[in-house]
Amino acid sequence: TLDYHNINLNEEYIRIHGKGNKERLLPMGEVAIDYLDTYEKKARPFLLKSGQTDHYFLSNRGSGMSRQNFFYIIKAYAVKAGIDKPLSPHTLRHAFATHLVQQGADLRSVQLMLGHSDISTTQIYTHIQNVQLKSQHAKHHPRG
């Protein structure tokens, strides 16, 4: 779970504790900061039923959200958006990494953000970029 003290909206990062309790900092963009700021000011106080909790995201019962809660919410939004393919938190993580690579982020930075200990794990995302390059070449080059 993500604890309240692990999110720093002023410094624009989330402190993540990954496998083996390895710590990494994940930067946040302006849109995420705006949504989280709204959540902290409006939704979280409403959800905080009794006392205090270190959990950042709370269920409607006031306890920390579980992996299953997140999975359920993601699936519900996918249905609302008309997405009929399987969608999970891992799918969003994969999309995050793919978008970074497609937009030119260096592989080492992507590795650090994902918390991969081995760069070869991150290199999977370069294959996706290579497939995209082949497609673009075939589409736009006269001899493609």
What are the pLDDT digits (tens) for 112-142? Answer: 999 999 999 998 887 777 777 788 788 888 8
Residue 122 CB contacts under 8 Å (≥ 6 apart), including other chains:
97, 107, 110, 111, 114, 116
Q: Hunting for tokens 């938190």 — which residue is that? A: 89
DSSP 39: I
In sequence order, the 6+-apart residues with CB closer than 8 A to the CB of 79 are none
pLDDT at 111: 94
3-state secondary structure 77-138: HHHHCCCCCCCCHHHHHHHHHHHHHHCCCCHHHHHHHHCCCCHHHHCHHHHHHHHHHHHHHH
Res 128: pLDDT: 73
What is the pLDDT at residue 10? 96
pLDDT digits (tens, 9 = 90+) for 68-120: 999 999 999 999 999 999 888 889 999 999 999 888 899 999 999 999 999 99
For residue 33, the model assigns a pLDDT of 97
Q: What's residue 134's pLDDT?
A: 82
**Rounded average pLDDT over 16-38:** 93
* 50, pLDDT greater than 80: no
The Cα–Cα gap between 5 and 54 comes to 7
Q: Is the pLDDT of residue 44 over 90?
A: yes
